[in-house]
């Protein structure tokens, strides 16, 4: 059952990220989903224009994280991995 819940959570996270992705793409950037850990932290990598943008941290926390926590309440945090 645990594995089923993890797969369901991951599926919902990926679906929500796909809905957010066009906002990043409109600015020449994108993100890659990497994983979700045991603490429900979602690990992503910002790429393209987003990877080198000085506002990337704000985009990550105020944009992606806010959106994702609203769409998938189990998510505790979104973190960027290099």
Q: What is the mean pLDDT of residues 65-81?
A: 96
Here the CATH number for the domain that contains residue 6 is 3.30.300.130
Entry pTM: 0.89
Q: What is the chain's mean pLDDT, rounded?
A: 92
Provide the residue range defining the domain that includes 69.
2-80
Residues 6+ apart with CB under 8 A from 64: 17, 20, 31, 44, 78
Our count of domains for the chain comes to 1
Separation CA 21–CA 31 (nearest Å): 7
Local confidence band at 19 (pLDDT 50, 70, 90 cut-offs): very high
């Amino acid at each position: 059952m645990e594995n089923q819940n993890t797969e369901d959570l991951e599926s919902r996270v990926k679906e929500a990220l796909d809905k957010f992705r066009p906002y990043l793409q409109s600015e020449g950037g994108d993100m890659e989903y990497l994983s979700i850990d045991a603490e429900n932290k979602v690990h992503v990598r910002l790429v393209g224009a987003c990877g080198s943008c000085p506002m990337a941290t704000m985009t990550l926390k105020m944009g992606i994280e806010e959106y994702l926590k609203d769409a998938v309440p189990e998510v505790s945090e979104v973190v960027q991995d290099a």
